[in-house]
């Protein structure tokens, strides 16, 4: 049975789990409270109690970027078959979300985003199908939608900058007004834009005295296919999303601005959980409107689209509470 076949049979929402290795400084005295197999996390929640969490796939501490990509690739490639696709990285700060999505520049450390984009260009040129790709990059910070390919205007203070607005087309398609979408013809072009976006993102944080863990970063690749030159057939989207850290606020003892940021993140993550849960249980009402994140993704979550949730956990005993919360989220959306 091919993986694509399997995906179709099993529905359109997959949930994977990845546990990052111990850092050097952690390793000399750290313990893990779980054991893993191919598709389960067994967590020791109390001295005599083990809780089992099921996934479509589990990656352990020694899984490589290549191992992860091998499982993600079919989902990404389904964008070439016309599906809308959303790939999310979920987890507390420091659990490995950015490592999975972006990775590091060394070839073996490249993450899902660069590998996926390279694979799309390779495949699109392979079989002569004609595609137009455009690339966009944005972030959602405190409910504000910001284009990461447009330098911030100096006339706005961080808070006052207006959010990009979202429009629903008559066909149900979602459009982000004035969002820059640059036509891209190669992986190298995407890489350059990604670097621009990343730079703008970090500048913003110095200004706001905050960190990237307090916002969601969204990459959008739009794919337009053609029947013949100049004859558009369809457009669909591939989203790759590095979500804000899922840690709860009690633990971080956040106050003031940090507290507000944290609340915004937690709110949108639970809204995302609600939407996926409603789709999984086939509820009549799917509460897309409860957050900017789910409003933006409305036409790419559910119906005929494919969703992949990559849930990340830290290995340490110290993080047990957050790990339980994260695994609880995963159970909810699966």
Binding site for ligand ADP (CB under 6 A): 20-21, 91, 93-99, 213, 312
CA distances from 57 to 243, 310, 318, 322 (A): 20, 10, 24, 20
What Rg, from alpha-carbon coordinates, does the chain have? 20
Q: Is 192 exposed, middle or buried (0-12, 13-18, 19+ CB in 10 A)?
A: middle
Q: Is 20 or 146 the residue whose CB approaches Mg ion more closely? A: 20
Provide the minimum distance between the beta carbon of 112 and ligand ADP in the complex, in angstroms, as a whole number.
12
Provide the minimum distance between the beta carbon of 45 and ligand ADP in the complex, in angstroms, as a whole number.
23
State the Cα–Cα distance between residues 98 and 110, nearest whole angstrom: 11
Residue 315 CB coordination number (10 Å): 23
Choose the contact partner of 118 out of Mg ion, ligand ADP, none; CB within 5 to 8 A by kind: none
Interface size with Mg ion, residues (CB under 5 A): 2
State the Cα–Cα distance between residues 4 and 78, nearest whole angstrom: 8
Choose the contact partner of 96 out of Mg ion, ligand ADP, none; CB within 5 to 8 A by kind: ligand ADP
Choose the contact partner of 291 out of ligand ADP, Mg ion, none; CB within 5 to 8 A by kind: none
Residues in the chain: 334
Choose the contact partner of 107 out of Mg ion, ligand ADP, none; CB within 5 to 8 A by kind: none
- Position among 98, 100, 225, 236 found at the interface with Mg ion (CB under 5 A): 98
95 contributes a contact to Mg ion by CB under 5 A: no
Q: Is 97 or 216 the residue whose CB approaches Mg ion more closely? A: 97
Cβ pair 176, 218 in contact under 8 A = no
Choose the contact partner of 20 out of ligand ADP, Mg ion, none; CB within 5 to 8 A by kind: ligand ADP
State the Cα–Cα distance between residues 327 and 53, nearest whole angstrom: 7
Residues that bind Mg ion (CB under 5 A): 97-98
């Amino acid at each position: 049975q091919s993986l694509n076949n399997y995906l179709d049979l099993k529905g359109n929402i997959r949930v994977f789990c990845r546990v990052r290795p111990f850092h050097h400084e952690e390793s000399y005295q750290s313990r893990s409270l779980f054991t893993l197999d191919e598709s389960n996390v067994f967590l020791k929640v109390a001295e005599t109690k083990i809780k089992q969490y099921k996934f479509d796939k589990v990656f352990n501490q020694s899984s490589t970027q290549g191992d992860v990509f091998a499982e993600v690739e079919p989902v990404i490639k389904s964008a070439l078959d016309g599906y809308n696709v959303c790939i999310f990285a979920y987890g507390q700060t420091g659990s490995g979300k950015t490592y999975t999505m972006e990775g590091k520049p060394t070839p073996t450390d490249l993450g899902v985003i660069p590998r996926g984009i390279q694979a799309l260009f390779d495949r699109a040129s392979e079989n002569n199908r004609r595609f137009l790709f455009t690339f966009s990059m944005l972030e959602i910070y405190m409910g504000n939608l910001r284009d990461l390919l447009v330098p911030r205007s100096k006339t706005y203070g961080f808070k006052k900058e207006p959010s990009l607005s979202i429009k629903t087309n008559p066909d149900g398609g979602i459009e982000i007004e004035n969002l820059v979408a640059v036509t891209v013809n190669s992986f190298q072009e995407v890489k350059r834009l990604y670097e621009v976006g990343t730079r703008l993102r970090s500048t913003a944080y110095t200004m706001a005295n905050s960190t990237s863990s307090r916002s969601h970063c969204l990459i959008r690749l739009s794919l337009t296919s053609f029947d013949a030159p100049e004859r558009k057939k369809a457009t669909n989207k591939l989203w790759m999303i590095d979500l804000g850290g899922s840690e709860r606020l009690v633990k971080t003892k956040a106050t003031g601005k940090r507290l507000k940021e944290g609340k915004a993140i937690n709110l949108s993550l639970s809204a995302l959980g609600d939407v996926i849960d409603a789709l999984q249980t086939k509820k009549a009402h799917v509460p897309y409107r409860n957050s900017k994140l789910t409003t933006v993704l409305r036409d790419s979550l559910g119906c005929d689209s494919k969703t992949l949730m990559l849930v990340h956990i830290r290995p340490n005993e110290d993080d047990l509470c957050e790990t339980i919360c994260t695994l609880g989220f995963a159970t909810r959306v699966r």
